[in-house]
Structure 1
Amino acid sequence: MADTRKAGPEEGSPLRASLGQVLRTLGDLIVLNWLCVLCALPVVTAGPALCALYYVTLKLARGEEVRTLRGFLDAFRANLKRGAALGLLVLALGAVAAGDAFFALRQEGALRVLFLTVATVVAVIALTLLCYVFPLQARFQNTWKGQVKNAFALAFCSPGRTLLLWLIALLPVAVPLFLPPVIMRMLGFVYFIAGASGPAWLASRVLWRIFRRVLPAEDGEPN
């Protein structure tokens, strides 16, 4: 007798495998999000936390095997000193940009234009470092000065993708400013489970395209 049952996704089918991969990635991002937030709470450890976050998301974006919890904690410890220095550098630049912008809004005429210009330039520098220096530190060994130099070199060599990385970095901050509170309450759950790790994973997919095109094929020892 012919089997009249409807065919469905079977064990090992591409659909089931894809769904399983999506769920595993989502689970990894939830774990990473809270690890990053907790480890960054002292502020001074925000840099190492971002290095560790990118260490794992770069592997996830490339399809490499990684143990999420162990990989994050190992990368956090490995980048504790240098990551903290880079994090404080970015925070200092952000504070200078915010201070100049605040001062500019209290001025008039040419002085306002001058301070707004300085604030914009410093903010762009800080944003570029935020997008590049922590992924570089997570993946490649170098001095902190070398990481800063390479961050600007990569940004200059890939301006289109740098703009995309800026957008990914700014979007989580900009969205609450433009959406009504009702919608933000609905999106709050997304921020709760992947507010930090989600953008880092998206950025990692862009970063690998830049790394492949500009840098040697990992001839440096990865962290």
Structure 2
Amino acid sequence: MKLSLDSPVMEKAEGIADIIIAGFLWLIFSIPIITIGPASIALYYTVAKVCRRKRDTVWHAFLHAFKINLKQGIACTMIYLLYLSVIIFYFYITFENAGQGNPMLLLAGILLVVPFLFTLLYIFPVISRFGGSLGKMFQYAFHMSMRYFPVTI
């Protein structure tokens, strides 16, 4: 059997290689913690476009998406980092002051964590696919997390 560049095996191998390259680009661009958001947006955009053959190269698609979404992605990352620090501080104070922890305070902490985790799964793909204000993107992400609740869990 002759392997040509247009064979289905080579096309699949090229697609897998593109995804691996996009993953390495995400890793490199995520080294400064503040750029995890834009890098995640660019990763989703790149995988969606390059693997469907709508963009030319992984590098160009990734950089294009990273540049376009840098400002909004950093703002989103900062919001999540701030929210995460509030959650960590809440649990620290709760367990330091109450010993083993009051069940009601623990429940309140869990209620703080749920929207954080649910929207975190969807916010970066939503920003990648749709345009609009950051508040609207959070609404879309929360709506999607509720709409696809079994998948979210």
- TM-score, reference length from structure 2: 0.83
What is residue 34 of structure 1 aligned with on the other side? 24
What is residue 75 of structure 1 aligned with on the other side? 65
- Give, as a single letter, the amino acid of the residue that structure 2 aligns with 1:131: L
Are residues 99 and 115 of structure 1, via their aligned partners in 2, closer, same or farther at CA, if it must alter by over 3 Å?
A: farther
Q: What is the CA distance between 1:74 and its match in structure 2?
A: 0.6
Q: For structure 1, which segment, 130-139 or 19-28, has the greater mean C-alpha deviation from structure 2 after superposition? A: 19-28
Aligned residues of 2:49 and 2:61 also touching (Cα < 8 A):
no
Distance 1:94 1:26 in 2: 34
What is residue 99 of structure 1 aligned with on the other side? 89
Larger Rg: 1
C-alpha deviations, 1:83-114, integer Å up to 9, x for none? 111111122222222333334343336x5323
Following superposition of structure 1 onto structure 2, how do residues 1-150 of structure 1 map, counting pairs within 5 Å? Answer: 9=1, 11=3, 17=8, 19-59=9-49, 63-66=52-55, 67-106=57-96, 107-108=98-99, 111-150=101-140
- Name the Cα RMSD after superposition: 2.3
Secondary structure in 2 matching 1:65: coil
- Give, as a single letter, the amino acid of the residue that structure 1 aligns with 2:41: C
Distance 1:41 1:159 in 2: 31
The answer to which structure, 1 or 2, has the higher relative contact order (CA under 8 A, 6+ apart) is 1
Secondary structure in 2 matching 1:141: coil
- Give, as a single letter, the amino acid of the residue that structure 2 aligns with 1:65: K
Distance 2:147 2:73 in 1: 24
- TM-score, reference length from structure 1: 0.59
Are residues 27 and 147 of structure 1, via their aligned partners in 2, closer, same or farther at CA, if it must alter by over 3 Å?
A: same
- Give, as a single letter, the amino acid of the residue that structure 1 aligns with 2:111: V
| Structure 1: 5+ residue stretches without partners | 1-8, 164-223
